[in-house]
Amino acid sequence: ARITRLTDYTPPAYAIDSVHLRFDLDPAKTRVHSRMAVRRVAGAAESAALVLDGEDITLLTLKVNGEFVAFRQETDKLVLDKLPEAFTLEIETLNVPQANTQLAGLYMSGGAFFTQCEAEGFRRITYWPDRPDVMSRFHVTLRADKAAYPVLLSNGNLVSHTDLDGGRHEAVWDDPFPKPCYLFALVAGNLVCREQTVRAASGKTHLLQVYVRAGDLDKTEHAMESLIKSIAWDEQRFGLSLDLDRFMIVAVSDFNMGAMENKGLNIFNTKYVLANPATATDADYDGIESVVGHEYFHNWTGNRITCRDWFQLSLKEGLTVFRDQEFSQDLAAAAGGESARAVKRIEDVRVLRTAQFSEDAGPMAHPVRPEQYQAIDNFYTATVYEKGAEVVRMMQTLVGRAGFRKGMDLYFQRFDGQAVTCDDFAQAMADANPQSPLAQHLVAFKRWYSQAGTPHLHASGSLDPASRTYTLTLRQTLPDTPGQSDKQPQVIPVAMGLLGPDGAALPLWLDGQDKGSDTVLVLTETEQTFTFGNIDAAAVTPSLLRRFSAPVILDYAYPDADLLHLLAHDADPFNRWEAAQRLTLARVLAAVRGDELQLDPAYLDALRAVLRDPKLDPAFKELLLTPPGESYIAEQLDEVDPPRIHRARQALRTALAHELADDWQALWDSLTPQGGYSPDFASAGRRALRNLAQAHLCELGQTSWLGRVYQRVKDADNMTDRFAALAALVQVGAELAKPALERFAAQFAGEALVMDKWFALQASSPDHDGRQLDRVRALMQHPAFSLQNPNRARSVLFAYCQANPGAFHRADGAGYAFWAEQVQALDAINPQVAARLARALDRWRKLAPVYRDAAQQALRSVADSAMLSSDTREIIERALA
């Protein structure tokens, strides 16, 4: 296998200052003509070769300064020697978009043309030095049949649009900003758009457009609103304005990722554009807001300043996830105050701890800045994205919000228009804040980029009444990960406070200084001790790692009494939630280990108090009452029996249903909808909590309840409530689930995104009768199922293999055999999506022996397949290594 290494990086020998691209679009044979102005860069050897990448395309002609020249053709590369210092390179290639099932490069979806070039898709369109540090000005001509493809779009500004002979037409686009080829895009098809002109704070006006298929226009309002909010937020928070006259979003139903930030022409999975109350849930609305924000924010963090090489992917992704999370938090806080901000934070941390912590503990563990890869597409991971965002957030914690803004300003001042590294970013942040702990400990801080694995933060505290001090000792350890051992300490900001016996915050006196009631300790060594003075309390409960100030596992032996105390009194809502999670986790883990599930009165009373507290947001209550997920529970164990975990967690839910029955009923009654549907924070929170109450009431098994919920599947006036009702019936295996599912499918047969939910709900259903795998196979026989469409494939395969551990892991190994079959089938169609599915067995070594052998056998059977893509092979080989 070909391995690419960070240490092998060398700057390009040639620059392409500008390119004229011409596409004669045709599904069966698209000709791509490219005319490039090429120049040897200063310092490069005269003998340096120009290396061009190409994949799955046919070369028609190649000319240097108008002449045919000799060149070498290697696997997926063209090499040109003996070149003049500056020259015009012309290349013509042939693409077959209709045969492109990988959805990378130029492909067809629903009869229209789309492109996806990140990370290495441009080489599937034409020969090019396909690396992000080659930045060029693109001038693009698109020609196509006018009736079939009336809309022709590319990056930048529309220069001209003219009719040609033979029913064809031509559009010319010019992007004034140099960009790497991964940000190139084109769209050609029969689309309609919602458009709006906005005036930015700068006074400039911009044309905003959201393109969709005819019939979907009524689902574009929320995306447009989200875009407008994103533009305003980036101006206000970071002083960054939209730099183009026109900004377009196009929705496509066949898409490997969530969305793509191509300059001025974002291309989105329909899932992150289309929403109306009848088809989208509150979670969908939130997802659209954050992904629209994310791609828009890339315009500066990613496009104006891009990555030198793909090892630096987190430079743009970690930073942009951080920005989209801050955007969502700021919007939530504007609507619902600081507790709404905490709700967003909890949601993000839940994702991080479920997806990233398990990645960091498994065979795919890699640093935020990876050191090597076979297929870069495999490194669009929770580590690069979510942990990368936490690294940026820790910088903000260490330099303060105003200091962070100064650092961002310096970063743009230094690097606008360039392709740079994670080091460049951290250096700018430190240089703008020379007195900060970040600047003082930059070397240790940057180990967050180079060392993989989740640090453990061990804490212990002791109160000494004689000296009126409380001593807190913090120690960090970082486990070995594949290829890395003997790690060095990192910089860990630990936000904290201390609570007295009455729940009040104790004043924090550290080194003779008054730190208020909430401070950030900065751990820079393996172990450090912090002594707080002037403590006049008979007992102290530490509230550690408030707001989840660092992506670490906090090991502190909290007695239940302390957790109950924090849950009742902590000023930090995140840690109130965390205390409840720890209490719940301990009870589920005891049940997993074989003890009878025990829910003690103190625990139940604490939960009741939360549910009855009129000052707490419904959204917060819903998060607090939702137990940790099965995968997160599994990560706490050395040996994993997934069906057993499912049963223990389910037992907890059933017990909570009974124990808190009166409260669930009261919530259900009091949270009745007020007015029509609106996705705002408060309304969504009320729906979430009411639907959680409903799910628990269904657990009671009363026919009257199930009937009432079935009625909601029929009558609900929005998808959030309708789908929650359907899910509640499926979850408990009610008789009524069947007619409800049928009814739902008949009603939404024409709505692809709704049908994705319908498939996913069934595939992720608990295995009530041992026949869940048969049901999943039956879903694949449904006429609306397709492996070609990534959303649909994910809705069944990922929902079963990844999101349904209790049913997927079977002692007979049938789930794994199914997985092996599907990974291979999908790999032949779309390696990127197949490689994601392959990761469902990442954690196989932790499985109990009855599962482990069968899982290993399934992995081996895939490894033995001769036809495997490098994407999927890399995942399987790492898993077996």
Nearer to Zn ion, 290 or 765 (CB): 290
Choose, by CB under 6 A, the member of 26, 261, 286, 360 that binds ligand DPP.
261
In angstroms, how far is CA 48 from the centroid of its own chain?
40
Phi then psi dihedrals of residue 71, to 5 deg: -150, 165
Nearer to Zn ion, 303 or 694 (CB): 303
Cis omega (within 30 of 0) for bond into 657? no
How many residues touch ligand DPP under the rule CB under 6 A: the total is 9
Q: Residue 369's binding partner, choosing from Zn ion, ligand DPP, none, with beta-carbon cut-off 5 to 8 A by kind?
A: none
Q: Give me the least distance between CB of 318 and Zn ion, in Å please.
A: 9
Nearer to Zn ion, 292 or 611 (CB): 292
CA dist 299 and 241 (Å) reads 10
Rounded to 5°, angle at Cα 719 from 717 and 723: 115
With binding defined as CB under 6 A, does residue 688 bind ligand DPP?
A: no
Q: Residue 57's binding partner, choosing from ligand DPP, Zn ion, none, with beta-carbon cut-off 5 to 8 A by kind?
A: none
Q: Which part of the chain contacts Zn ion (CB under 5 A), choosing from 10-18, 312-320, 484-492, 794-802?
A: 312-320
Nearer to ligand DPP, 321 or 523 (CB): 321
Which of these, 506, 488, 487, lies nearest to 496 by C-alpha position? 506
Q: Which part of the chain contacts ligand DPP (CB under 6 A), choosing from 17-25, 254-262, 356-364, 614-622?
A: 254-262
| One-letter amino acid for residue 336 of the chain | G
Rounded to 5°, angle at Cα 106 from 100 and 112: 90
Nearer to ligand DPP, 381 or 872 (CB): 381
From residue 470, give the alpha-carbon distance in Å to each of 403, 464, 575: 31, 6, 20
Segment holding 510, helix H or strand E: strand 509-510
Q: Which of 92, 118, 295, 326 is catalytic?
A: 295
With binding defined as CB under 6 A, does residue 259 bind ligand DPP?
A: yes
Catalytic site residue 295?
yes
Nearer to ligand DPP, 261 or 386 (CB): 261
Q: Give me the least distance between CB of 385 and ligand DPP, in Å please.
A: 7
5: helix, strand or coil:
strand
User: What b/e readout covers 157-178, taking b as 16+ CB neighbours within 10 angstroms?
Assistant: eeeeeeeeeeebbbbbbbbebb
Q: Give me the least distance between CB of 786 and ligand DPP, in Å please.
A: 23
Q: Residue 260's binding partner, choosing from Zn ion, ligand DPP, none, with beta-carbon cut-off 5 to 8 A by kind?
A: ligand DPP
14, 5 contact by CB (below 8 A)? no
Q: Residue 752's binding partner, choosing from Zn ion, ligand DPP, none, with beta-carbon cut-off 5 to 8 A by kind?
A: none
From residue 719, give the alpha-carbon distance in Å to each of 618, 714, 791, 803: 19, 11, 19, 21
CA dist 369 and 372 (Å) reads 9
> What's the token pair of residue 141?
């001509």
Q: Residue 259's binding partner, choosing from ligand DPP, Zn ion, none, with beta-carbon cut-off 5 to 8 A by kind?
A: ligand DPP
CA dist 224 and 209 (Å) reads 8
Radius of gyration of the chain (CA): 28
Nearer to ligand DPP, 252 or 259 (CB): 259
With binding defined as CB under 6 A, does residue 309 bind ligand DPP?
A: no
Residue number of the CB closest to ligand DPP reads 260
Nearer to ligand DPP, 57 or 259 (CB): 259
Nearer to ligand DPP, 289 or 295 (CB): 295
Q: Which part of the chain contacts ligand DPP (CB under 6 A), choosing from 212-220, 294-302, 715-723, 844-852?
A: 294-302
Q: Give me the least distance between CB of 311 and ligand DPP, in Å please.
A: 15
Q: Which part of the chain contacts ligand DPP (CB under 6 A), choosing from 292-300, 570-578, 719-727, 795-803?
A: 292-300
The residue written with tokens 């409840």 in the block is 580
Q: Which part of the chain contacts Zn ion (CB under 5 A), choosing from 103-111, 248-256, 317-325, 620-628?
A: 317-325
> What's the token pair of residue 325?
């999370």
Q: Give me the least distance between CB of 252 and ligand DPP, in Å please.
A: 13
453, 365 contact by CB (below 8 A)? yes
Rounded to 5°, angle at Cα 173 from 168 and 176: 175
| One-letter amino acid for residue 620 of the chain | F
Q: Residue 343's binding partner, choosing from Zn ion, ligand DPP, none, with beta-carbon cut-off 5 to 8 A by kind?
A: none
Q: Which part of the chain contacts Zn ion (CB under 5 A), choosing from 309-317, 386-394, 406-414, 680-688?
A: 309-317
With binding defined as CB under 6 A, does residue 260 bind ligand DPP?
A: yes
With binding defined as CB under 6 A, does residue 257 bind ligand DPP?
A: yes
Q: Residue 438's binding partner, choosing from ligand DPP, Zn ion, none, with beta-carbon cut-off 5 to 8 A by kind?
A: none
Which of these, 251, 135, 244, lies nearest to 200 by C-alpha position? 244
Residues 442-461 that bind ligand DPP (CB under 6 A): none
153, 263 contact by CB (below 8 A)? no
With binding defined as CB under 6 A, does residue 377 bind ligand DPP?
A: no
Q: Give me the least distance between CB of 613 and Zn ion, in Å please.
A: 38
With binding defined as CB under 6 A, does residue 289 bind ligand DPP?
A: no
Q: Give me the least distance between CB of 172 and ligand DPP, in Å please.
A: 26
Q: Give me the least distance between CB of 294 and Zn ion, in Å please.
A: 6
Nearer to Zn ion, 351 or 602 (CB): 351
**Max intra-chain CA distance, the chain:** 95
621, 611 contact by CB (below 8 A)? yes
Choose, by CB under 6 A, the member of 120, 234, 309, 317 that binds ligand DPP.
317
Choose, by CB under 6 A, the member of 295, 360, 751, 874 that binds ligand DPP.
295
What string of H, E and C letters represents the secondary structure of 731-753?
A: HHCCCCHHHHHHHHHHHHCCCHH
With binding defined as CB under 6 A, does residue 118 bind ligand DPP?
A: yes
User: What b/e readout covers 277-313, taking b as 16+ CB neighbours within 10 angstroms?
Assistant: bbbbbbebbbbbbbbbbbbbbbbbbbbbbbbbbbbbb
> What's the token pair of residue 769?
């009768």
Nearer to ligand DPP, 92 or 390 (CB): 390
Helix 573-592 and helix 313-351, axial crossing angle in degrees, nearest 10: 70
From residue 7, give the alpha-carbon distance in Å to each of 129, 284, 449, 480, 874: 19, 41, 15, 21, 20
With binding defined as CB under 6 A, does residue 89 bind ligand DPP?
A: no
46, 71 contact by CB (below 8 A)? no
Q: Which part of the chain contacts ligand DPP (CB under 6 A), choosing from 258-266, 360-368, 466-474, 627-635?
A: 258-266
Instruction: Please report, as ranges, the residues that interact with ligand DPP according to CB under 6 A.
Output: 118, 257, 259-261, 294-295, 298, 317
Active site residues: 295
Residues in contact with Zn ion by the rule CB under 5 A: 317, 320
